[in-house]
Structure 1
Amino acid sequence: MSKELKEINLLVVDDQFEVLDVIREFLMGEVNGIFLADNLEAAKEILNTQALDCILLDINLDGENGGEVLSYVKEIESNSDVSIVVVSGVIDDNFVQKYQDHHIKMVMKPFSKNELVSAIKQVI
């Protein structure tokens, strides 16, 4: 993709409002646009209506599987080449093996602003 950070539109998918707030604070003014979703349905709605460059995705979403977003995003032509950064407190080996060839960066919670920005820059 090779875009500058300030040019990108970003979707953050996490079921913890505190995490959404922290990420928004970290990236406000750093990226072009930030869209927030606290569940799969909200994420799918944003994916259907917005052109995105990167998704920050928690894979454990209060009983839902964030990995479904990865499958869903490939079905949407306008977002099929979106970059993914998985941001999670628990990343199991099965998930890593399943998605390791999809150019997905993984960041463990808790994370710093520098870790998050660095991961985004690596995938865009």
Structure 2
Amino acid sequence: MSQMNTETPYRNVLVVVLPERHMLPPDGDEFKGDDSAIPGVYSVDGIPDRVTEEEAAYYALEAFHESQGIAFVEDLAIFVIDTEAGRLLDEDEDPTGGEWIGGVSCEKTGTDLPPWLVTLLLREMDPLD
């Protein structure tokens, strides 16, 4: 069992997982793929504030994938959000040459998206911008 990272302050990061549009049934029924329990909001703790946004996204996704076994990643849309900055973060493919900072944890907080998060996702994904 790893110890929690003692660096402070930490970034407030969420991983949001939604089913891809092609996975949603046309009749409005629920997503029933192999990964139907995965969609939701995940809180990622332990990412030090000193890392770049791209590194924060990388560590958040690594922690998420370590905590969740995903059968078909192409069936899911996965977003990393810096809650303090109020924006989506882009991932750095391998920011530190494989170095892991340790003490990062990921826990599902629920399946409902709060209104501010829906607004952010709609704004960030607006094809007219």
- TM over 0.5, shorter chain: no
Relative contact order, higher structure (CA 8 A, sep 6+)? 2
Larger helix percent: 1
Tell me the TM-score normalized by structure 2.
Answer: 0.28
Larger Rg: 2
